[in-house]
Amino acid sequence: MTTSHYIAGRWVEGQGSDCISVTDPALGLPFAELMAASVAQVDQAVAAAREALPAWKHTSASDRAAYLRGFAEQLGQRREALIALQMRNNGKPRHEAEIDLDDAIATFSYYADLAEQLPSKNRDVPLAAPGFTARTRLEPVGVVGLIVPWNFPLVTSAWKLAPALAAGCTVVLKPSEVTPLIEQAYGQIADTLGLPAGVLNIVNGKAETGAALSNHAGLDKLSFTGSNSVGSQVMRSASAQCRPVTLELGGKSAIVVFDDCDVDQAVEWIVAGITWNAGQMCSATSRLLVQDGIADTLLARLQQALEKLRVGNPLAEEVDMGPLTSQAQWLKVASYFATAREEGLQCLAGGHALDREGWFVSPTLYADVPVDSRLWTEEIFGPVLCARRFSTEAQAIAEANDSRFGLVATVCSADLERAERVADALEVGHVWINSVQAVFVETSWGGTKGSGIGRELGPWGLSGYLSVKHVTRCLG
């Protein structure tokens, strides 16, 4: 797979110095290889997007919507191939890979509808002062760089690509070097639909490619999803150019379970919140706060549930949880198991890597974890759950909010008035009440504190790619 970059409407070979090895994490073996884009090719991609911008931003809203619906339809036609690739390259169980694809399809369809509504957003503005008229225009930000992570490829790129195209922006997309293949579908679809050359460009690579894109003076905006350490570098690059940036970063999210909650339902919500995608989610609810009255019963049932999970190769068997996506992530999670042993944490389930080929770890539960433990405060990005007990609502809110992150949270209680009250008090961007982490394209996604800047999805996701212009005219 040498022609791995889509620039100015053409597939081209990588000319960079890095060779990207694409691996099946269930086997720990590579199955594809491609050369990274060079810095010069990043320049070419940005130049192509810049050249395509004037015509694309003046394309009618209905035409842009038609292209977006075409993306949705074409993703559906590639369904089985894309599901299989998510399973093979990410290690996702089939039911998770299916939801990923459905999410991407829904995103393009949703922003097609919003694109058609954009002309109605341009409107006259009433003024208190006589003798003047004013009107508002919403215009595309311009050329945007989109950098997406490896844990939800196809999905995160859809969350960025669809609203950017709907707004009239042209884009340069950089997938993760861990999962570079599935985003190729977007370039293939662009060819099929006859999307004008340069509107969508895809460059693959490692850190050098990402730095070349984020530092590029030809961009008007950057949107990045990934780790806090890389996000801070992206933000520095944006600040040097004084341009807007959207950052969706890490989390160390809490799930708060009150003692009036049904134990079986609570276990279902907790397990889903920590083992979906093998815990490799910025939104993983990895801090369990459980009220005293239910704690012993819940922890015992939770231990049983985690030990019963089927962990294995999703291409070979029916599983509940697959492997971690990369060896680097496997080593990182294993290092936290070692830290837990050094700290003397009480391990109720798991706490070790699995002795088999591939990058598998056991679903893990630690009980009564101190608030100063590294496992309580740091994002692990694996199926590692830390539990603490609380007695009062105020204590639960205080401990849930005691984090440098603020992405999501879950509240479990039969008292809906209390659940709503606690949800309002939590310092996060999204709260679920008595639910698994159901994410809908109509809602917003993003966090507070160290979890990032800006919002994706919903109308907020579209507004991130639009600039507001006012035109004021004197009538005298």
Residues marked as catalytic = 248, 282
Scan for tokens 């630690």, then name that residue.
366
Angstrom distance (rounded) from CA 171 to CA 201: 6
Angstrom distance (rounded) from CA 462 to CA 166: 7
What 3-state class would DSSP assign to 414?
coil
Q: Which residues pair with 412 in a beta bridge?
A: 257
Give the number of other Cβ atoms within 10 Å of residue 124's Cβ.
10
Residue 11 tokens read as 């597939």
Angstrom distance (rounded) from CA 32 to CA 2: 10
Contacts of 42 (CB under 8 A, 6+ apart): 172, 203, 209, 212, 213, 216
How does DSSP classify residue 39?
H
**Helix, strand, coil fractions of the chain, as percent rounded to 5:** 40, 20, 35
E strand or H helix that includes residue 43? helix 39-57
Angstrom distance (rounded) from CA 156 to CA 317: 27
At 326, give phi and psi (nearest 5°): -140, 160
What's the Cα-to-Cα distance from 155 to each of 105, 160, 182, 193, rounded to whole Å? Answer: 9, 9, 10, 20
Q: Would you say 101 and 154 are in contact if contact means Cβ atoms under 8 Å apart? A: yes
Scan for tokens 């005691």, then name that residue.
402
Which region holds residue 213: left if phi is over 0, alpha if psi is between -120 and 50, else beta? alpha
Angstrom distance (rounded) from CA 202 to CA 172: 6
Scan for tokens 């990005």, then name that residue.
381
